[in-house]
Amino acid sequence: MLNFRNLPAVPFLLCVPASLALLEGTKLDPNLVSAAHAESQQATAQPVPTGAREVPARSIPVPNTVSPQMQAIIAQPLNSSWNVVPTTVEEWKARVEKAALGVMAELPHLREALGVTVVPSAIGGVKVFLVTPKAIPARNRDRVLLHLHGGVRVYNPGEAGTREAILLSGFGGFKVISVDYRMPPDFPFPAALDDAVAVHREMLKTTKAKNIGVFGTSAGGSLVLTTMLRAKMEHLALPGAIAPSTPTADLTKTGDSLFTNEMVDNVLVSQDGFIRATILLYANGHDLKDPLLSPIYGDMHGFPPTILTSGTRDLYLSNTVRVHRKLRAAGVEAVLQVFEGQAHGQYNRDITAPETKEYNDEIARFFDLHLGR
């Protein structure tokens, strides 16, 4: 054992010249890496900052630190419909239906490529899809995942909601129950949450809680978290692990990346415009800070082990890291992964991209580590 007292002492000059006495009491920048910052502030007597950062217009290149597939996805222009807001129920439904057809067109190929079958069913009175991989490893035989799809609270009804479940089922070798929860405009909050909790409650009758993993992306990630809050309120057993990816855990425009990554994230672009409209449609007059709408304001003590995912260009990066910090502060085993250069959910966009395999493999590994058998 190295003993400090056995080491040679050399002269120690506490170099604090008289001129520095002037600095005492001032707020020096104490960061090791920002001595230059402190220096500049001493030198120029900066005015009290207004705080807002004025960032000039910039051209940000496509990063070369991701796969070619991901570069193509990041290179896409901003989603031009981000500020186009439906004004009638019919317009909402037409938009949702059109989008669903786009997603569904890809599904046969995904099911085939990943060797996954999808069968519609119902559990606890709620429509679901049963997603089954060709081969189920022995360790996963008594495990079932509960999937809550994303789609800004309005998209991906029916089969369109199964895409992410197909990927994790295929990459991870898990049986998945994907919940076709009710959505606005017909069924606003708390219909989706009611459906998610109803399926979980029903699953507990046949599956050990520890053998259940719950996952979802974006609005689905937030629904994973609110399902835990409701399960706690109803004294239901919590699952063995959860994977809320880039959860929209705060429906108020709160979280720094909602500003720093505005107009940088080409998927969501901004929380204003269309997304804001989906929030109000879903909340249906409820307080947006209700923890069952914005789980960041909920009590996360006792949550199961959690793996969170985001990307450096993700509008919801801050929501994701805020949930991570909050879980850690509550003593929950929670891990975070952030994908380089990628906007909202892009890591899961292309099954041929190494990032997509990596994302699903990491979640599968985390579930394998924490779920019962």
Residues 319-348 that bind its own copies (CB under 8 A): 321-322, 324-325, 328-329, 335-341, 344-346, 348
Piece of 5-13, 187-195, 230-238, 298-306 that binds its own copies (CB under 8 A): 5-13
Among 168, 229, 251, 268, binds its own copies (CB under 8 A): 268
Using CB under 8 A as the binding rule, the residues of this chain from 178 to 237 that contact its own copies are: 203, 206-207, 217-220
Q: Min. distance of Cβ 131 from its own copies in angstroms? A: 9
3-state secondary structure of 84: coil
What is residue 142's DSSP assignment? Answer: T
Radius of gyration of the chain (CA): 24
Which amino acid does the sequence have at 74?
A: I
- The yes or no reply on residue 77 touching its own copies (CB under 8 A) is yes
Among 140, 266, 294, 306, binds its own copies (CB under 8 A): 266
- The yes or no reply on residue 101 touching its own copies (CB under 8 A) is yes
Q: 75 or 233, CB closer to its own copies?
A: 75
Among 156, 226, 306, 360, binds its own copies (CB under 8 A): 156
φ/ψ (deg, to 5) at 294: -125, 85
Spatial CA neighbour of 207 closest among 186, 249, 236, 227: 236
CA atoms within 13 A on the CB side of 86: 18
Q: In sequence order, which residues have a C-beta less than 8 Å from that of residue 91 and are 6 or more positions away?
A: none
Among 18, 61, 87, 88, binds its own copies (CB under 8 A): 61
Q: Min. distance of Cβ 197 from its own copies in angstroms? A: 16
Instruction: Outline where DSSP puts E strands in 74-207.
Output: 116-123, 126-133, 144-148, 175-179
User: Do 214 and 224 contact (CB within 8 A), yes or no?
Assistant: yes
Q: 150 or 188, CB closer to its own copies?
A: 150
Q: Min. distance of Cβ 138 from its own copies in angstroms? A: 14
Cross-strand bridge partners of residue 307: 335
User: Do 269 and 79 contact (CB within 8 A), yes or no?
Assistant: yes
Piece of 160-168, 183-191, 223-231, 287-295 that binds its own copies (CB under 8 A): 160-168
Q: 89 or 101, CB closer to its own copies?
A: 101
